[in-house]
Amino acid sequence: MAMYNEKVMDYFMNPRNMGEIENPDGVGTYGSPVCGDMMQVSIRVEDDVITDAKFKTFGCGSAIASSSIATEMMIGKTIDEALAITNKQIVNELGGLPPVKIHCSVLADHAIKSAIYDYSQKTGKTYAGLEGFDPNAEEDDHHDIPEE
Ligand code: FES
């Protein structure tokens, strides 16, 4: 189990923003086609700024750490800025993940976008960063995995 760095372990053992926002402005759930793990992100939005974000993850330690740090990265950002968060940035913020665990960060990336997608559906707003995003798509979750 020496494959996780200290920061990943910290976010796994002491996850920030775990739970669910009551009456959220947006909520999205995403299941990884790679491993079947699930993640839910709920958000509070005021004046197009994400003022709160929480997550629930039924998944591995990397998924918990990724979703926890992703909620921290979202809070205080505009919707457009939050949509620009990539799974690579999540991995970097965690100080790295083992290559076989990169898809866990993709799960967090998708869960963020799913929550914002829900918000856009509820409000009728459109965002360039959501163009082509299908919350139910089982798309290529293997992207960004470095070559061995
Ligand atoms: Fe499924 Fe990490 S192994 S999200």
**Could you tell me the CA-to-CA distances from 82 to 47, 50, 75, 146 in Å, in that order?**
14, 8, 8, 24
pLDDT (0 to 100) of residue 76: 98
Question: Which of 3, 8, 35 most suits a substitution to test ligand 1, by most atoms within 8 Å of the C-beta?
Answer: 35
pLDDT (0 to 100) of residue 108: 96
- pLDDT digit string (tens) for 43-69? 999 999 999 999 999 999 999 999 999
Spacing, Cα 60 to ligand 1 middle (Å) = 5
Atom number of ligand 1 nearest to Cα 60: 2
Question: Which of 3, 11, 30, 37 most suits a substitution to test ligand 1, by most atoms within 8 Å of the C-beta?
Answer: 37
pLDDT value at 147 more than 80: no
- pLDDT digit string (tens) for 63-81? 999 999 999 999 999 999 9
Exposed, middle or buried, 63 (CB in 10 Å: 0-12/13-18/19+)?
buried
